[in-house]
Amino acid sequence: MSASSRILGASGRKTLSRAVQYFLLTLMSIYILVPIVILIFGSLKTRGQMYSHPYTPPIPPYWDNYIKILTSSIFWTMLKNSLIVTLAVTVAVLVICSLAAFVFARLDFRGKDLAFNFFTLGLMFPITIAILPVYLVIRQMSLTNSLLGIILVQTAFQLSGNILILRNFFASVPLELQDAAYIDGCTPFDFFRLILLPLARPALSAVASLTMVVSWNDLLVPLVLIDKETLWTLPLGTMQFQGQYGTDLALVAAFVSLSAVPAVIFYILAERHIVSGLTAGALKG
């Protein structure tokens, strides 16, 4: 089809290399899929089956593990906490980052470079390193054991990277558009609200998707800030559940599978945005 395939020509050699390619890709796929499949198999067994035949297909499937978890309130409470945190963080990151990115991409003021460098400094100071200093501040603010504490911390540590991505996107919008808007009597805020944000929808959904993945999967911040069981998020709760019911491996497998479901649904819905977000960030970075 393309010139390269015509030049490589010898179709025998081509088929052979294709075969090798597919062989290696299949091996990698097995590496990826085996842990997932084994987990799902395990979740559909009784405790006894899990001990006697841990990695065979569950025939017939035993659904009681799932029923047990879905009818207890603990799973739903964690799901609710995770949803609250992730949605709040995502909205906050979108609003705060697009405001700041607009200023850095489109307005001039004294000390702009300094301010920008200051904000992107956060990239070098991730939450894993900052967790103890941040915990001390949260404790001084009496925000331990509250979802608000998690939301504030996660938001603060997601700002730098996302301001960078959005600034690059805003900067790529043609200047003529801004001039035309100002001539028509727009204020900078009108331009931002009426023209830039609608144009930036792909970048905004990419930022939103990435923020959601990070916030949803975060273990460290809730682990440090939350003691109360009723405020556990899904990753924290899953870890605690595994510690508590570690001997009932089938039940743990079901719990882990269920806690992965929201992420998988989200992945199916947002794959396009996640991929474009990562690549937008990467190619500019």
Partner 1 sequence: MGVSMNRNGEGALPFRSTARSQHTLTVVLFLLPTFVLFIVFVVYPVLQSFYYSMFNWKGFGPAVDFVGLDNFKRILTDKAFMKAVGNTLNIVVLSLFIQLPLSLGLALMVGRDLPGKRFFRTIFFVPYVFSEVITAIMWMGLFNPDPDRGLINALIVLMGGKPQPWLGSPQMVMGCIFVVLTWKYFGFHMLLYMAGLQNIPREIEEAALIDGCSTGQMISYVTLPLLWGTIRTSIYLSVLGALQQFGLIWVMTKGGPVNASEVMSTYMYRYSFIRFWLGYGSAVAIVILLISLAFSIAYLRLVRQQDYLGGVS
Site for partner 1 in 127-156 (CB under 8 A): 128-137, 152-153, 155-156
Q: Is 245 in the site for partner 1 (CB under 8 A)?
A: no
Crossing angle of helices 73-106 and 234-244, in 10° steps, is 150
Dist. CA 76–CA 176, nearest whole Å: 51
Is residue 42 a contact partner of residue 249, using CB atoms and an 8 Å limit? yes
Q: Is 180 in the site for partner 1 (CB under 8 A)?
A: no
Dist. CA 133–CA 61, nearest whole Å: 48
For the record, the structure tokens of 84 come out as 């609250």
User: Binding segment for partner 1 among 59-67, 69-77, 96-104, 169-177 (CB under 8 A)?
Assistant: 96-104
Q: Is 83 in the site for partner 1 (CB under 8 A)?
A: no
Q: Which residues, at least 6 apart from 47, have a Cβ–Cβ distance to it below 8 Å?
A: 248, 249, 250, 251
Q: Is 99 in the site for partner 1 (CB under 8 A)?
A: yes
For the record, the structure tokens of 27 come out as 């091996």
CA distances from 227 to 107, 128, 145, 157 (A): 44, 19, 6, 22
Q: How far is the CB of 68 from partner 1 (least distance, A)?
A: 18
Q: How far is the CB of 191 from partner 1 (least distance, A)?
A: 10
Q: Is 183 in the site for partner 1 (CB under 8 A)?
A: no
Q: How far is the CB of 75 from partner 1 (least distance, A)?
A: 14
Which of 84, 186, 197, 260 binds partner 1 (CB under 8 A)? It is 260
By rule CB under 8 A, what count of residues binds partner 1? 94
User: Binding segment for partner 1 among 59-67, 83-91, 167-175, 218-226 (CB under 8 A)?
Assistant: 218-226
Which of 69, 88, 94, 100 binds partner 1 (CB under 8 A)? It is 100
Q: How many CB atoms lie within 10 A of CB 137?
A: 13
Name which of 22 and 63 has its Cβ closer to partner 1. Answer: 22
